[in-house]
Amino acid sequence: MRASTPHAVGHPNTGHVTIRGFSEPDRVDALKQALATWAEGQTPIHLSVEAIDGFPPPFQIVIARLEPTPSLVARYASLTSALDSTDFHRIGELPLDEWVFHLSLIYAGGLDSISWETLCDRSRRVVEPRPKEVITSADFVWYANGTEYIETLPFGAPGQALGVRSVDNP
């Protein structure tokens, strides 16, 4: 067994629900345009947290598992349909019935197995009352030269991207 270090766990930069991951470093602008077009036809997503849970090794992530609300399921399905006619390289693509909607809370991949099991066991619980949130946009996130870039794509707003912001990553 190895001792845990302060760097054995991390946290997301911002709260987010990941709907898709891509590997398109040379086609960022084309991918952004396709996602903006998709976002224009969307309505808000209603989120509701069901429980605190965890993804097992090799991921070791403590998550807030989300209820598959009709709007969340519909956005996932509509994005799948929109992407099916493209050749964008998707990462971790899963069928709708296998996808676990979630908010990542703690990235614990650096923990040894005993520490991970302890953290996960202590964290698991049903959340009552269920926190709820309404999401009215999608963030398109990409990385270049150690910097994270984020562009917010509002739902139902043709041509209304809210501008790019960047976050330096150490």
pLDDT above 90 (res 163): no
Q: Stretch 96-116: mean pLDDT, rounded?
A: 93
Q: How far is CA 3 from CA 8, 111, 112, 155, in A?
A: 10, 8, 8, 46
Distance CA 34, CA 80 (A): 12
Structural element, H or E, at residue 123:
helix 113-123
Q: How confident is the model at residue 159 (pLDDT cuts 50, 70, 90)?
A: low
Q: Which residue has the tokens 């947290």?
A: 49
Q: What is the pTM of this model?
A: 0.81
Q: What is the pLDDT of residues 135-157, one digit of tens each?
A: 999 989 888 888 888 889 999 96
Q: How confident is the model at residue 1 (pLDDT cuts 50, 70, 90)?
A: very low
List, in sequence order, the alpha helices (H) in 65-153. 70-84, 113-123
pLDDT above 70 (res 58): yes
% of the chain with per-residue pLDDT over 70: 88
pLDDT at 40 (0 to 100): 93
